Amino acid sequence: MQGKPTVLITGASSGIGATYASRFAQRGHNLVLVARNKAKLDDLASSFRQKNGIDVDIIQADLTRLEDLETVETRLQEDHAIGILVNNAGTGLSGSFLQQSLDDITQLVMLNSTAVVRLARAIAPRLVEKGDGAIINVGSVVGLAPEFAQTVYGATKAFVLFLSQGLSAELLPKGVYVQAVLPAATRTEIWERLGADLSLLPPLMEVDELVDAALVGFDRKEAVTIPPLQDISQWDAYEAARVAMIPGFANNHPAQRYVETPGNS
């Protein structure tokens, strides 16, 4: 098992994070598991040590608290065995934008966006120096669909996608692979925490299927992995249309449709 990088996973006590932990444990990677629930982390760590013969450390941390976030940052900066970061911790909010409290919105942005960029920033310089390593950022298809009426949550996930694509452009030439994973509705504990009625939700993907698909994308070094999307040509067309607009952004005069002419104002 020597030579395999240690994997640090946030939100590792359940759902997607716990499944990532299980899969990387099966691959023989040592783990650092981060979450708020110490009891669950202890149980997982004990199980992985016994079943997979790996080393597992745990960090009890609430990534919406600055001091806890700094603890994880320090571990990423100083532990040279860690070569893969799985930025998975995240949450959602029930209700519409006008119903959500400012405090809840602030906490959501802190966990879903601020913690993601800070942890990536903590590990990236060391990975670049080594010329190897990976950052996996778990986003959501909601970040592509404002029509889903999950305004702030979707905005945080759009941030994760943009961050991942930007980091990929910067870091891949320096040997560091960055993957954005965009799940759709997945069967995790988040729905219970939000008080959602499962009967009103679309069909949910099982978390094992999601993570296994995401790891296929990881092994293929995909920049963006969207497990539920059957027709990848749709994503390719989306990206092609986006890239095709870029030359137009360099124009130093407004588009003609914004130029008023006499009698047409």
Residue 177 annotated as catalytic? no
Please identify every stretch of the chain with a pLDDT value under 70, giving residue numbers as ranges: 1-2, 187-201, 263-265
Residue 48 region, left (φ>0) first, then alpha (ψ -120 to 50), else beta?
alpha
What is the CATH number for 65?
Answer: 3.40.50.720
Q: Which helix (H) or strand (E) holds 157?
A: helix 151-171
The residue written with tokens 């608290």 in the block is 65
Q: Residue 1: its pLDDT value, please?
A: 38
In a domain, 121, yes or no: yes
pLDDT at 263: 64
Which has the closest alpha carbon to 112: 95, 135, 87?
A: 87
The whole-model pTM stands at 0.92
User: How many Å apart are CA 114 and CA 157, to the nearest integer?
Assistant: 11
Name residue, tokens 């990975």. 127
Domain membership flag for residue 261: no
> Among residues 176, 263, 184, which one has the least CA distance to residue 223?
176
| Residue 3: predicted pLDDT | 83
Class of residue 2 by CB neighbours under 10 A (exposed 0-12, middle 13-18, buried 19+): exposed
Please check whether residue 252 lies inside any domain of the structure: no
Domain count, the chain: 1
| Cα 92 from chain centroid (whole Å) | 13
Catalytic residue among 153, 177, 238, 258: 153
Domain membership flag for residue 264: no
**Cα–Cα distance for residue pair 187/204, rounded to 1 Å:** 5
Distance, in Å, from the CA atom of 44 to the CA atom of 195, rounded to the nearest integer, reads: 26
State the pLDDT at residue 234. Answer: 97
Question: Is position 249 within any domain?
Answer: no
Q: Which domain holds residue 29?
A: 6-233
Angle formed at CA 216 by CA 214 and CA 218, multiple of 5 degrees: 70
Say if CB 163 and CB 178 are below 8 A apart: no
Q: Say what the pLDDT of residue 142 is.
A: 94
Is 238 inside a domain boundary? Answer: no
The pLDDT, as a whole number, for residue 185 is 82
Residue 250 within a domain: no
DSSP 253: S
Q: Is residue 75 classed as helix, strand or coil in its secondary structure? A: helix
Q: 103 lies in a domain?
A: yes
